[in-house]
Amino acid sequence: METMQIEKTSRKGIVLFSEYVAGSAIRKAVKIGREEVLFELRDSKLKGRGGAGFPTSTKWMITAAASAPKKYIVCNADEGEPGTFKDRVLMMEHPEIVFDGMVIAGYTIGAKTGILYLRGEYYYMLEFLENHLSGMREKNLLGKNIIAKEGFDFDIQIRLGSGAYVCGEETALIESLEGHRGEPRNRPPYPVNTGFMGCPTVVNNVETLASVPHIIMKSGKWFSEYGTDKSTGSKLFSVSGDCENPGVYELPWGMTITEVLDIVGAKNTKAVQVGGASGICLSHAQFNRKLSYEDASTGGSIIVFNESRDILHILQNFMEFFVEESCGQCTPCRIGNVKLLEGVKKLRNGNYTFAEIRNLRELGQTMQVASKCGLGQSSPNAFLSILDNFSAEVFQYTSSDKHNGVNNE
Amino acid sequence: MNSKTESRAPVSQQALRVQQPFDSSQIGAMVTIEINEKKMQVPLGTTILEACAQNQVQIPTLCHHKDLCTAGVCRICVVEVDSMKTLQAACAFPITQQIKIKTSTEKVRKARRHIIDLLLSEHYGECYTCVRNKNCELRSLASEYGVDGFTFGHPEKRKHDIDKSSFSVMRDMDKCVLCRRCVRTCIDLQEVGVLEAVGRGDQTHITTFMGKPLSEVICINCGQCVNRCPTGALYTNDPSDDIWRAIDDKKKHVVIQTAPSPRAAICEEFGMAAGTSLTGELNTALRRIGFDRVFDTNFAADLTIMEEGTELLNRLKSVVVDKDTSVKLPQFTSCSPGWVKFIEHFYPEYLDHLSTAKSPQQMFGAVTKTFYAQEYNINPEDIVTVAVMPCSAKKFECNRPEMDSSGFKDVDYGLTTRELAKMIKEGGIFLPEMPKSGFDDPFGEASGAGLIFGATGGVMEAALRTAYELVTGREVPFEKLRIEACRGFEGIKQASVKLKNCVPDYTFLEGVDLKFIVAHGTANARQVMEMLKAGELNDVHFIEIMACPGGCLGGGGQPIPTSPEIRKKRAEAIYAEDESMTIRKSHENPRIKYIYEKFLTDGPCGHKSHKLLHTHYTKRGNFIV
């Protein structure tokens, strides 16, 4: 295996990039006990950082309450959303908080096994992460009777994905872990009841788990003071595209897009894609929207486009991505994305009718509600938001006689 | 009686089941729900689809099938649930809390129409010429759910060639709607696993190992996938044009044999409810469309009982008296060609357990082109034998190279129930209105024992009626000869009969507890084979296995649709017909006595019958030949 030079930059941030001594939160968690850990988590109002925003404490409580001989904690490191690269930074620069978070989760819910599902493309991290786990085992932070606590057994395995975007969806991830074709399951039942190998399973994003040690050390109340009322704490944003300083930024929730654009040095910005390919595309008029679960929600991806970019070209790129990355299971997503892509191509060469586009818009709305999993439900977001927010540019290739009397906002 | 009926889905498919964190039936809990503003109570864990069906609310389905585990992939059954942001698939949503369901809101109707529009945009629907014309679930959905145009286009050209390589099953992937019923049938219901979804996104397709033609993979030809395909993507290899040609050819003497299951099911092809046998009507219809002789397969079933039953007694004697370790028990039945190919592929090391007796279809062909030709002075070269079977694997069976013991191809064509119905319609005949008539000599008389071959457990019951009587000299000790232990649709049935006061020839069986097992569906067959492998069946003597769920009456050539209820009706028709017969035991069939007197003069399992009525098998394993 190629050796990689790991260059640790010393990032500073309010939560995730703040001071932390490896292992300290595990000791404190054991000291305060399971209930207290859950209470702190509840007070923190921490929500899933992968994008869906499910309250982490609820997920843990359900799993902790389940009586099952085996439970699992799975760390979702299948960071596949286009434009997201924050988990990579977390795992390379602060593996201690990610793994400590998993150990605390294992302790709290009563799991003996943690699994890190690592994106196939992150194969180069494997050795580094395995070394870190070995170090933890040496320090008795993993293995049997962790920190000399009788019966506190927990260990972490790393499994590699094979490159399917859909395996970031938690039930598809579990299918993949079990060795099957990565396809989402029917929900309910949810993984907290019936997850990996049929056992209660918590699946958390890397960043969610990385927040936990800080919450344990500094209290849930401290965490909840950052951000907005419904989006507490900080968020890692992976900013890419047309700006001077792309990269990973830890910022409190609730900042406006304009503020972020200033920080990263973006000029002449035409559009911002919030939330990756499955997110929404905002135009200038909406740059005052706040990055938060309740307003412009994102799992971390922010892609900046300046005036030189062709919005339909961007959209076509996203749609091609979904046509390929749909798992192919359910009808709305498998065929719907193909039809949306055809529509984008028609828009680009001006060869369309408004009736067709109206049909596709309605199709997009159906896909949002009728698809089996989050992939299909979010894949039309870019299409719909670009049609709404960039209508002048989207319909520039049409001659007025194509309007057919259909009103186009 | 011991049965194992728990879920046998392989792990890869279990995820698609509606799972619950606990078994609610244990606590009998009920949940109050609202469907379209009407309150009702349903047992905890009921799916929305079941709840709606119980309350006369229609929900369209496509990927859902009563025989298969839940998939929730087509999304046609979506409904609104008040607590959820998105629509939920009714087939896959277990009710565990008080919810309000709306089944026909604007959102729901729009979504359903979109889904059908999308499916049509990928479905090469040449409906006029399609084998499933008027019996296509996609077409019904389109007409029932308001589709009035190809909103998202419609393919005008084929993308794939039709796979016509198999003797039995044809695959036209241009008509596939990726409901994956065939995948679930093959993997889960039958545990064969020839078909699987491959590729991602718009490249997703159903295919075989390495995309090989069906004839080059370990397909057992059971045709269960055909029975569950909602469109014309899967169908059987139809020989009716060749048969018409033979009928039209004045030189050819075309005989047809009809098996009991098609007779009990063909009514469904003419719009009648399941469960009426049209045996007499069928005989008339077949003559009217030009068959020269109409024979009863049950005659050959009786012959099978004589041969297979004798073989079993011989094996018992070799094991009990001669202590011959080369002779294997338990003996497996060999009437089901799907099962035969299954064991050849998956358990070739156990082929010695398989009875060497041919299936009734093949025995029939062999005696038709020898005994019948002789008796009636017809050149066997001019005889064309057609077999009406509920089965797609019979098409493969009659094409096996070893099936030529008459000196000719013993059975020329295997014709399914569906294909025969099509021929009858083409002949301008409405079957239910035909007058009744009987079968032709010399194979026109049969026993009820041969008839019940059509249902799972039937071969066993027929064999017991004869074997018990041969050994003890008395009738089987059951009211109206109903051996209930053999009947019913339990996956694996085990039972035993004690042999007492045996006649002098069979004193070596005195006091023996004759143990037998009946299984249907190859998933259950696999379980039996694993039990055999584990040494759990060392004391069992005879095992009947049918490849299809329910036995032949649920065969791959039977009318579509199929469901547990329909199969139950067909079984009832078969058992009722058995009880209406005067002869109920194979060995009492006068025609059977006659053929052993006149033709197979050295008796069952004698030299001549070995040549004509017995066969050998191929250790296939993972290979095709």
The CATH topology of domain B240-299+361-433 is: Rossmann fold (3.40.50)
Residue A3 contacts B, CB cutoff 8 Å = no
Provide the shortest C-alpha distance from residue B203 to chain A (in Å): 8
Find out whether B372 and B378 touch, Cβ atoms under 8 Å.
yes
> Could you tell me where in chain A the CATH 1.20.1440.230 domains are found?
311-401
> Could you tell me where in chain B the CATH 3.30.70.20 domains are found?
115-236
Provide the shortest C-alpha distance from residue A312 to chain B (in Å): 20
Dist CA B604 CA B485 (whole Å) = 27
Find out whether B540 and B516 touch, Cβ atoms under 8 Å.
yes
Residue A350 contacts B, CB cutoff 8 Å = no
pLDDT digits (tens, 9 = 90+) for B508-563: 999 999 999 999 999 999 999 999 999 999 999 999 999 999 999 999 999 999 99
Binary contact (B73, A178; C-beta < 8 A) = no
Indicate if the pLDDT at residue B1 is higher than 60: no
Decide: helix, strand or coil at residue B34.
Answer: strand
Residue A366 contacts B, CB cutoff 8 Å = yes
Binary contact (B87, A362; C-beta < 8 A) = no
Pick the range with the lowest mean pLDDT from A115-124, A269-278, B317-326: B317-326
pLDDT at B96: 86
Dist CA A385 CA B273 (whole Å) = 53
Dist CA A226 CA A233 (whole Å) = 5
Contacts of A189 in chain B (CB under 8 A): 19-21, 94
Find out whether A21 and A27 touch, Cβ atoms under 8 Å.
no
Q: Please tell me which of the candidates A185, A194, A331 has its beta carbon nearest to residue B115.
A: A331
Burial B53-74 (b: 16+ CB within 10 A, else e): eeeebebbbbbbbebbbbbbbb
Tokens of B559: 């009318």
Q: Please work out, in degrees rounded to the nearest 5, the angle formed at the alpha carbon of residue A399 by the alpha carbons of A396 and A400.
A: 105
Binary contact (A326, B89; C-beta < 8 A) = no
- Check if B191 is active-site: no
- Check if B552 is active-site: yes
Dist CA A294 CA B462 (whole Å) = 71
Q: What is the pTM of this model?
A: 0.93
Which of A187, A193, A369 should one mutate to test binding to chain B, selecting the residue with the greatest count of B CBs within 10 A?
A: A369
Find out whether B133 and B66 touch, Cβ atoms under 8 Å.
no
How many CB atoms are located within 10 Å of the residue B19 CB? Answer: 17
- Backbone phi and psi for residue B7, each to the nearest 5 degrees, phi listed first: -60, 130
pLDDT digits (tens, 9 = 90+) for B146-184: 899 999 999 999 999 999 999 999 999 999 999 999 999
Dist CA B175 CA B185 (whole Å) = 18
**How many angstroms from the chain centroid is the CA of residue B116?**
30
Residue A63 contacts B, CB cutoff 8 Å = no
Provide the β-strand partners of residue B514: B497
pLDDT at B13: 45
**Which of the following CATH numbers is that of domain A234-306: 3.10.20.600, 2.40.100.10, 1.10.3110.10, 3.60.10.10?**
3.10.20.600
Residue A188 contacts B, CB cutoff 8 Å = yes
Provide the shortest C-alpha distance from residue B118 to chain A (in Å): 6
> Could you tell me where in chain B the CATH 3.10.20.740 domains are found?
13-104
Q: Which residue of A has its CA nearest to B62?
A: A331
**Mean pLDDT, rounded, for B375-403:** 96
pLDDT band at B9 (very low <50, low <70, confident <90, very high): very low
Tokens of B493: 């049935």
> Could you tell me where in chain A the CATH 3.40.50.11540 domains are found?
24-224
- Check if B7 is active-site: no
Dist CA A234 CA A163 (whole Å) = 29
Q: Which helix (H) or strand (E) holds A15?
A: none
CATH superfamily membership of A24-224: NADH-ubiquinone oxidoreductase 51kDa subunit (3.40.50.11540)
Mean pLDDT of chain A: 93
Q: Which residue of B has its CA nearest to A175?
A: B15
The CATH topology of domain B316-358+446-562+580-624 is: Fe-only Hydrogenase (Larger Subunit); Chain L, domain 3 (3.40.950)
Binary contact (A366, B199; C-beta < 8 A) = no
Could you tell me which CATH number the domain at A311-401 has? Answer: 1.20.1440.230
Contacts of B152 in chain A (CB under 8 A): 335, 339, 359, 363
Strands A280-283 and A269-274: antiparallel
Indicate if the pLDDT at residue A6 is higher than 60: no
**Proportion of chain A above pLDDT 90, given as a percent:** 89
Contacts of A324 in chain B (CB under 8 A): 200-203
- Check if B251 is active-site: no
DSSP secondary structure letter of residue A65: H
Indicate if the pLDDT at residue A241 is higher than 90: yes
Residue A327 contacts B, CB cutoff 8 Å = yes
How many CB atoms are located within 10 Å of the residue B479 CB? Answer: 6
Binary contact (A188, B94; C-beta < 8 A) = yes
pLDDT at A403: 46
Provide the shortest C-alpha distance from residue B81 to chain A (in Å): 11
Dist CA A177 CA A167 (whole Å) = 9
- Check if B402 is active-site: yes
* Cis status, amide bond into B330, omega within 30 of 0: yes
pLDDT at B3: 32
Binary contact (A164, B75; C-beta < 8 A) = no
**Active-site residue identified among B91, B229, B335, B398:** B335
- Check if B91 is active-site: no
pLDDT at B444: 87
pLDDT digits (tens, 9 = 90+) for A46-86: 999 988 899 999 999 999 999 999 999 999 999 999 999 99
Binary contact (B200, A372; C-beta < 8 A) = no
Indicate if the pLDDT at residue B336 is higher than 50: yes
pLDDT digits (tens, 9 = 90+) for B210-263: 999 999 999 999 999 999 999 999 999 999 999 999 999 999 999 999 999 999
Dist CA B352 CA B552 (whole Å) = 24
pLDDT band at B331 (very low <50, low <70, confident <90, very high): very high
pLDDT digits (tens, 9 = 90+) for A346-387: 999 999 999 999 999 999 999 999 999 999 999 999 999 999
Dist CA A367 CA A363 (whole Å) = 6
Tally the residues of chain B: 625
ipTM higher than the 0.85 cut: yes
Write the CA distances from B119 to A70, A261, A333, A339, B396, integer angstroms: 41, 43, 11, 11, 33
pLDDT at B254: 97
**Active-site residue identified among B50, B137, B397, B445:** B397
Q: Which helix (H) or strand (E) holds B312?
A: helix B297-320
Tokens of B36: 């379209």
Contacts of B15 in chain A (CB under 8 A): 171, 174-175, 178, 180, 185
Provide the β-strand partners of residue A204: A75
Decide: helix, strand or coil at residue A323.
Answer: helix
**Which of the following CATH numbers is that of domain B13-104: 3.90.226.10, 3.90.600.10, 3.40.50.920, 3.10.20.740?**
3.10.20.740
Residue B150 contacts A, CB cutoff 8 Å = no
Mean pLDDT of chain B: 92
pLDDT digits (tens, 9 = 90+) for A158-205: 999 998 999 999 999 999 999 989 999 998 889 999 999 999 999 999
pLDDT at B20: 53
**Mean pLDDT, rounded, for A324-344:** 97
pLDDT band at B394 (very low <50, low <70, confident <90, very high): very high
pLDDT at A160: 96
Indicate if the pLDDT at residue B363 is higher than 60: yes
Dist CA B344 CA B158 (whole Å) = 36
Write the CA distances from A347 to A169, A273, A278, A282, A325, integer angstroms: 31, 20, 20, 19, 22
- Check if B579 is active-site: no
> Could you tell me where in chain B the CATH 3.40.950.10 domains are found?
316-358+446-562+580-624
Indicate if the pLDDT at residue A409 is higher than 80: no
**Proportion of chain B above pLDDT 70, given as a percent:** 95
Dist CA A204 CA A116 (whole Å) = 10
**Which of the following CATH numbers is that of domain B115-236: 2.60.120.260, 3.40.50.300, 3.30.70.20, 3.40.50.720?**
3.30.70.20
pLDDT band at B11 (very low <50, low <70, confident <90, very high): very low
Strands B78-81 and B38-43: unpaired
**Active-site residue identified among B166, B355, B392, B405:** B355
DSSP secondary structure letter of residue A243: S
